[in-house]
Amino acid sequence: MAGITYEDFLDLSFDPADSDLVCTFRIVPADGMDVESAASRVASESSNGTWAALPTGEGFTDMRAMAFDIEALGGGADADGGTDAAEIKVAYPEGLFEPGSMPQILSCIAGNIMGMKAVDTIRLVDCEWPEGVATSFAGPQFGSSVRQEVFGADDRPILATVPKPKVGLSTERHAEVGYEAWTGGVDLLKDDENLTDQEFNPFHDRLVESLAERDAAEDETGEPKSYLINVTAGTNEMLERVDQVAAEGCEYVMVDVITTGWAAVQTVRERCEELGLAIHAHRAMHAAFDRLPQHGVSMRVLAQISRLVGVDQLHTGTAGLGKLANEDTVGINAWLREDLYGLNDVLPVASGGLHPGLVPDLLDATGTNVCVQAGGGIHGHPDGTHEGAKALRAAVDAYAEDRSLASKAEESPALRTAIDEWGTE
Ligand code: CAP
Ligand code: MG
């Protein structure tokens, strides 16, 4: 029968065009399925094919993807102990994609294929974004320039803190904790991911009261300070919150980008451009996609998507330190800084179980063009939030001054106490 079948989606001599989006997948074919057949099915289902042979003819533009490279990963790579796990590359023609629509792209490259019976597991590992697709997105409005332009931070990372307990603090207490942290040396107060607009701490009250404390802290310290308030919401309410943030004179909004969805992030990005606000991206739920190494979507790809849709700061992990499992923080951070057709970079945020004693190892791994975020590592300080903030600031100042924590601790009792409490590992 004439028409397209699975076999039409595999050509190991195919040479992708510069304008193609090339995706690397790690696959483990299902029992009884060879790697070539699985690869062609992945290319087919993620572009224009399906299980049945399809007639084509007039009124049809060939938007076929092509699996063009297969590298066997060898024994042990297969979760079942088999030997047929492979890394495959698939090229997608630019015309398959609607410019500037991340949901449409993901419906192709991370859509039905994630549940295909032809593979036991499939992971989207990496994407090579062509210029046409990449520049159809806004990219970050500011990127890592916020570190210098908002805070004048020179050689040190900027510092953020999230009040703990995560939720339940009254508005007044939340704002007070902000004041204690800001005046201790932290640059940014940040909401926790599950704090939005609850009765115990309503959004607008929190915005106004926290910014009043911010202003007081700026006066007291002579340093610029800002607030990452969580505008994440289920509807247009999110845009209303963004508008409130601009009206009250704050520089940033925080969005939980995975739970809220990429289309919503794109919408917020558009409004933030009108208002001149930067976007801090928290990534709760990323591990549902990236935790199991055989399956899902890698954090590397989630970070690429975040940059394209235009966040300015993004959580990318702690290079193996702290409390949470991380995927390749250093490699992901490097990608966020690479040239991408003139799109701005993204400031990586290290967070999750950090405390002052971890700062030297962290910054050795990540460099100083980052944001360091600590919750428990500030508010759990034996002498409270203010001393905790002083300790974290002393630790990053020591790094910028090329001094050891031990020598800095001689002049910073707050740092001494933090090290005595939590050590340096
Ligand atoms: C950190 C944190 C952050 C996570 C996010 C928390 O608190 O506020 O949400 O670090 O993880 O709720 O756990 P602590 P990631 O400083 O007290 O650990 O950056 O990996 O997305
Ligand atoms: Mg949190």
Which of 192, 258, 351 best tests ligand 1's pocket when mutated (most atoms within 8 Å of CB)?
351
Contact between 278 and 312 under an 8 Å Cβ cutoff? The reply is: yes
Choose, from 89, 280, 282, 386, the residue flagged as catalytic. 282
Please state the rounded mean pLDDT for residues 349-359.
Answer: 98
Alpha carbon of 194 to ligand 1 centroid (Å): 11
Please state the rounded mean pLDDT for residues 203-217.
Answer: 98
pLDDT of residue 82: 52
The ranges assigned to domains in the chain are: 6-134, 145-422
In short, whether 47's Cβ falls inside 6 Å of ligand 1 is: no
- CATH code of the region 145-422: 3.20.20.110
In short, whether 385's Cβ falls inside 6 Å of ligand 1 is: no
Contact between 226 and 252 under an 8 Å Cβ cutoff? The reply is: yes
- Annotated binding site, which residues? 166, 190, 192-193, 283, 315, 351-353, 373-376
**Residue 39, CB-side half-sphere exposure with 13 Å CA sphere:** 26
Ligand 1 atom closest to residue 374's alpha carbon, by position in its atom list: 16
Q: Over the stretch 114-138, which tens digit does the pLDDT of each residue have?
A: 999 999 999 999 999 999 999 999 9
Alpha carbon of 259 to ligand 1 centroid (Å): 15
208 Cβ contact list (under 8 Å, min separation 6) = 248
| Residue 17: strand, helix, or coil | coil
Please state the rounded mean pLDDT for residues 296-304.
Answer: 98
Choose, from 164, 286, 390, 408, the residue flagged as catalytic. 164
> Looking at per-residue confidence, does 49 or 132 come out higher?
132
In short, whether 353's Cβ falls inside 6 Å of ligand 1 is: yes
| Residue 311: strand, helix, or coil | coil
**Does 323 participate in catalysis according to the annotation?**
no
98 Cβ contact list (under 8 Å, min separation 6) = 104, 105
When pLDDT is cut at 50, 70 and 90, the band that residue 49 belongs to is confident
pLDDT of residue 1: 46
Is the pLDDT at 77 greater than 70? The verdict is: no
When pLDDT is cut at 50, 70 and 90, the band that residue 58 belongs to is confident
Regarding pTM above 0.90, the answer is yes
In short, whether 323's Cβ falls inside 6 Å of ligand 1 is: yes
Ligand 1 atom closest to residue 284's alpha carbon, by position in its atom list: 21
The answer to whether the 6-134 and 145-422 domains have the same CATH topology is: no
pLDDT of residue 19: 98
Percent of the chain with pLDDT over 70: 97
Looking at domain 6-134, its CATH architecture is 2-Layer Sandwich (3.30)
Is the pLDDT at 75 greater than 90? The verdict is: no
In short, whether 319's Cβ falls inside 6 Å of ligand 1 is: no
- Angle, helices 329-337 vs 299-309, to 10°: value is 30
- Annotated binding site for substrate, which residues? 166, 283, 315, 351-353, 373-376
Tokens of 138: 């806004």
Alpha carbon of 100 to ligand 1 centroid (Å): 30
Alpha carbon of 166 to ligand 2 centroid (Å): 7
Is the pLDDT at 80 greater than 60? The verdict is: no
pLDDT of residue 83: 57
Ligand 1 atom closest to residue 326's alpha carbon, by position in its atom list: 20
Q: Over the stretch 139-158, which tens digit does the pLDDT of each residue have?
A: 999 999 999 999 999 889 99
Ligand 1 atom closest to residue 324's alpha carbon, by position in its atom list: 20
CA distance 215 to 89: 52
ipTM of the complex: 0.95
pLDDT of residue 57: 81
Ligand 1 atom closest to residue 315's alpha carbon, by position in its atom list: 19
Beta bridge partners of 349: 315, 371
Alpha carbon of 193 to ligand 2 centroid (Å): 5
CA distance 346 to 326: 18
Alpha helix locations (H) across 185-339? Answer: 203-221, 237-247, 257-260, 262-275, 286-290, 299-309, 329-337
When pLDDT is cut at 50, 70 and 90, the band that residue 366 belongs to is very high
pLDDT of residue 2: 56
In short, whether 317's Cβ falls inside 6 Å of ligand 1 is: yes
Contact between 214 and 178 under an 8 Å Cβ cutoff? The reply is: yes
**Does 117 participate in catalysis according to the annotation?**
no
